[in-house]
Amino acid sequence: MDAGALRVRYITSEGQEQETSLASVDGSHVARGLPVRIPPSYVGQSNYPGLFWSATNAGHVWYESLLELAWLWLADFDPHVRRIAAQPFELTGRDGERDRTRFPDFLVIDEHQEVRVIDVKLERMLDKPDVRASLNWTGHALGARGWPYEVWSGAHPTILRNVRLLAAARRPNIVPDSAVDSVVASCPATGTSLGELERSARATATTATPRIVVFAALWRGQLVCDLRAPINARTLVSAA
């Protein structure tokens, strides 16, 4: 597939509509732009659109369903992600004898300024031939541009629950950097329980509760734990 023959339409951060070839589009400009479409909201709809406040963007990101909201929680927690864009561009081009138009759900930029594109789809939808054909075409098109493409269908509920719990400490200025650095420094090389770290934080934190200090260190990736089990005072925590 020729990326030069595929067209991309996006909206800049200043609200200017731009159209160019997929081969020449600048992913960083797309990532910092506005959504090319806003998810509709109407009485009786079966999905749940809304706005998600992203610590990564320090601003709101649109989502069109609860599944997209789940993906956003995990993307916001991912320490490699530097920017999240929803409904980032319109992609058009030929697919055999027909024309296709796609609006991928998300685009992210990582710490190396690399682009990744994500579509969020319920697993049961992936068995539908028309859905699979559309996603396959999108993957081949973006692959021709050199952009990784992922179809995401959900995460383990315990991981999602833990990430949402840690998100209590994600907003800036909730926990001083000095308090986070202190609790990270108190963590032994072999690791210790979250409860022990809370006790260390209690001795040094003056403007935040001890558990929030530990949560902030986990959210920032300075401490790590097994997210596949519910987080509690017995959770083993270690330095990243």
Query: pLDDT (tens digit, 9 = 90+) per residue, 98-119?
Result: 999 999 999 999 999 999 999 9
**pLDDT tens digits, residue range 7-49?**
999 999 999 999 999 999 999 999 999 999 987 777 776 778 8
Say whether 96 sits in a helix, a strand or coil.
coil
Percent of the chain with pLDDT strictly greater than 70: 96
Last residue of a domain, one of 132, 152, 172: 152
Indicate if the alpha-carbon torsion angle 137, 140, 142, 148 is positive or negative.
positive
Q: Are residues 126 and 227 in the same domain?
A: no
CA 8/CA 174 separation, integer angstroms: 40
* Structure confidence at residue 112 (pLDDT): 95
Number of other CB atoms surrounding residue 157 within 10 Å:
9
Mean pLDDT across the chain: 93
**pLDDT tens digits, residue range 113-162?**
999 999 999 999 999 999 999 999 999 999 999 999 999 999 999 999 99
CA 173/CA 150 separation, integer angstroms: 33
Q: Are residues 99 and 74 in the same domain?
A: yes
CA 40/CA 207 separation, integer angstroms: 42
Q: Are residues 87 and 48 in the same domain?
A: yes
Q: Are residues 168 and 136 in the same domain?
A: no
CA 100/CA 135 separation, integer angstroms: 11
User: What's the total number of domains in the chain?
Assistant: 2
For residue 49, give the CATH number of its domain.
3.40.1350.10
CA 143/CA 3 separation, integer angstroms: 9
Q: Are residues 117 and 162 in the same domain?
A: no
Q: Which two tokens stand for residue 119?
A: 């579509």
For 8, the enclosing helix (H) or strand (E) is strand 7-11
The arithmetic mean of pLDDT across residues 186-206, rounded, is 87
Q: What separation in angstroms does the CA of 100 have from each of 57, 64, 149, 222?
A: 31, 21, 17, 44
Last residue of a domain, one of 123, 152, 181: 152
Provide the domain limits for residue 221: 157-239
Higher pLDDT, 82 or 97: 82
Q: How confident is the model at residue 91 (pLDDT cuts 50, 70, 90)?
A: very high
Last residue of a domain, one of 106, 126, 152: 152
Answering whether pTM is above 0.85, one says yes
